[in-house]
Amino acid sequence: MPDGRNAPDATLYRLSLYHCYLGELLRVGAPERITSSELARELGIKEESVRRDISFVGEIGRPGAGYRPEDLYREITRYLGLSEEYPIVLVGTARMLESLQVVFPSERYGVKPVALFSEIPEDAGTRIGDLTVQHLTDLARLDADLGVSVALVACSPGWVQVTLDLLANAGVTGVLLITPVIHVRKPEGMQIHQVRMPCDIKSLACKCQVPVGAGRPTD
Confidence check: pLDDT of 62 > 80: no
> Is the CATH number 2.40.40.20 carried by domain 86-199?
no
Minimal CA–CA distance to 171: which of 134, 133, 141? 141
Beta-strand pair 150-153/174-177? parallel
Residue pLDDT, tens place only, 32-55: 899 999 999 999 999 999 999 999
Q: Provide the pLDDT for residue 50.
A: 92
User: What is the percent of the chain where pLDDT is above 70?
Assistant: 90
User: Do the first three CATH levels of 4-80 and 86-199 match, i.e. the same topology?
Assistant: no
Hey, which of 63-77, 104-118, 170-184 has the most confident mean pLDDT? Answer: 170-184
Q: Provide the pLDDT for residue 202.
A: 85
Q: Kind and range of the H or E element at 133?
A: strand 131-135
Q: Residues 6 or more apart from 34 whose CB is under 8 A from it?
A: 22, 25, 66, 67, 69, 72
Q: Provide the pLDDT for residue 61.
A: 65
Judge contact between 49 and 110, C-beta under 8 A. no
Distances, alpha carbon 123 to alpha carbons 49, 112, 119, in Å: 46, 21, 8
Q: Provide the pLDDT for residue 213.
A: 59
- If phi over 0 gives left and psi between -120 and 50 gives alpha, with beta otherwise, what is residue 187? beta
Confidence check: pLDDT of 215 > 90: no
Q: Provide the pLDDT for residue 175.
A: 95
Q: Which has the higher per-residue pLDDT, 197 or 164? A: 164
* pTM confidence score: 0.75
Q: What is the mean pLDDT of residues 155-182?
A: 92
Domain 4-80 belongs to what architecture? Orthogonal Bundle (1.10)
Confidence check: pLDDT of 2 > 60: no
Please report, for the chain, the start and end positions of each structural domain, with discontinuous segments joined by +.
Answer: 4-80, 86-199
Q: Provide the pLDDT for residue 160.
A: 93
Q: Provide the pLDDT for residue 1.
A: 41
Q: Provide the pLDDT for residue 78.
A: 86
d(CA 96, CA 153): 10
Distances, alpha carbon 188 to alpha carbons 101, 142, 164, in Å: 30, 19, 10
Q: What is the mean pLDDT of residues 124-133?
A: 93
Q: Count the helices and strands in the chain (H runs, E runs).
A: 7, 7
Q: Which has the higher per-residue pLDDT, 60 or 142? A: 142
Judge contact between 46 and 35, C-beta under 8 A. no
Q: Provide the pLDDT for residue 128.
A: 92
Minimal CA–CA distance to 72: which of 34, 31, 28? 34
Sheet holding 111-118, edge to edge: 127-128, 131-135, 111-118, 86-91, 150-153, 174-177, 191-194
